[in-house]
Amino acid sequence: MKILVADDEAVSLRMMERMLRHSGYEVITAGNGRQAANILAEAHGPRLALIDWMMPELDGPEVCREVRNRLADTYVYILLLTAKQSSEDVVNGLKAGADDYLTKPCRPAELEARLHTGRRILQLEDKLVEAREQMRYKATHDGLTSLWDRTAILTLLRSELDRSVRDRSPVSVLLCDVDNFKQINDTYGHPVGDDVLQEVSQRLLDAVRSHDAVGRFGGEEFLIVLSGCGQDNMTMRAEQVRRGIADLPVLTGNGPISVSISVGAITIDIWDKSMKIEPFLKQVDAALYRAKAAGKNRVECVESLLAV
């Protein structure tokens, strides 16, 4: 594990570095407080730090304050090394953001024990962050397909429309529906239907750019947000999406199944934050209905926006 050791006394620094390397740490050193603060603020910098109290440019407590102010997403466990003995000094150091302190000269066994405590706390924080990210993912993604869920994809659509106003660029939306999906479920069973939805989801992702967004809108419907895509390119992009599903059968536990989608498409190039998304969704849904009525496995576009 990386550890930063900051001390302006070269002999003390070398001794501490040697001892910590012997204990298996990857040691990074700093000779003053400013250098220490900068190293700790780097991306992928050390998350364990041993900081001497008295240093030039920034003393130990000042390093603690700066690290706490600059790092919001990553926690660094900081041990202050000090010759100060008064409880007032210790309190001030802890208030500045230190997690623990050791008085100099420190015993190697005690230092190792304190650092071990710091590692345990950092491991706990990592687990909490991982749990938080898993909860955030589950709150915004569909459990079956791992695509954005309905709420999240609509939030992304609104965000993209707001951004399009600033960039003066259009946004196109594709509403896709798996053709004859009920028949697939009735014929092969719901597990096969789930396989189809998962494969369709992956192919939709493969058919769009990395900065486009794909969400499961509900059941066998999917919503695709194409950023910076105007009316001229919308039909071509929608056809690419449609062919990405229809050109190859989906392999399932019951063998290959031919699957297609119908697509309603709309370009939104007139938008302001006072508008609602729902009228545009109704228009693209009507286009999808026309594609279904015209024989399925096809794209129908909203030719001109109705007043919203």
pLDDT score of 206: 96
Can you give the residue ranges of every domain in the chain? Answer: 2-138, 150-301
pLDDT score of 306: 55
DSSP state of 44: T
Domains 2-138 and 150-301 share a fold: no
Q: How far apart are CA 305 and CA 297, in angstroms?
A: 23
CATH superfamily label, 150-301: Reverse transcriptase/Diguanylate cyclase domain (3.30.70.270)
Q: How far apart are CA 124 and CA 84, in angstroms?
A: 30
Q: Which residues on neighbouring strands pair with residue 176, listed in sequence order?
A: 222, 263
Q: How far apart are CA 216 and CA 179, in angstroms?
A: 15
Q: What is the pLDDT of residues 48-79, one digit of tens each?
A: 999 988 889 988 889 998 888 887 778 899 99
Integer-rounded Cα radius of gyration of the chain: 29
Show the tokens assigned to 113. Answer: 């024990």
CATH superfamily label, 2-138: Response regulator (3.40.50.2300)
Show the tokens assigned to 99. Answer: 């997690």
Alpha helical stretches, state H, the chain:
10-22, 33-40, 60-70, 87-95, 108-140, 150-167, 181-188, 190-207, 231-246, 278-293
pLDDT score of 260: 97
Residue closest to 170 by CA, chosen among 215, 213, 231, 211: 231
Annotated active-site residue in 17, 160, 220, 300: 220
Q: What is the pTM of this model?
A: 0.71
pLDDT tens series, the chain, 308 aa: 899 999 888 888 888 888 888 888 999 999 899 999 999 888 888 999 999 888 899 888 899 988 888 877 788 999 988 876 667 777 887 888 888 888 877 788 888 888 999 899 999 988 988 898 889 889 999 999 999 999 999 999 999 999 988 888 999 999 999 999 999 999 999 999 999 999 999 999 999 999 999 999 999 999 999 999 998 899 999 999 999 999 999 998 888 999 999 999 999 988 888 888 999 999 999 999 999 999 999 999 997 665 44
pLDDT score of 307: 46
The verdict on whether 17 is a catalytic residue reads: no
Q: What is the pLDDT of residues 246-305, one digit of tens each?
A: 999 999 888 899 999 999 999 998 888 888 899 999 999 999 999 999 999 999 999 766
Q: How far apart are CA 115 and CA 53, in angstroms?
A: 17
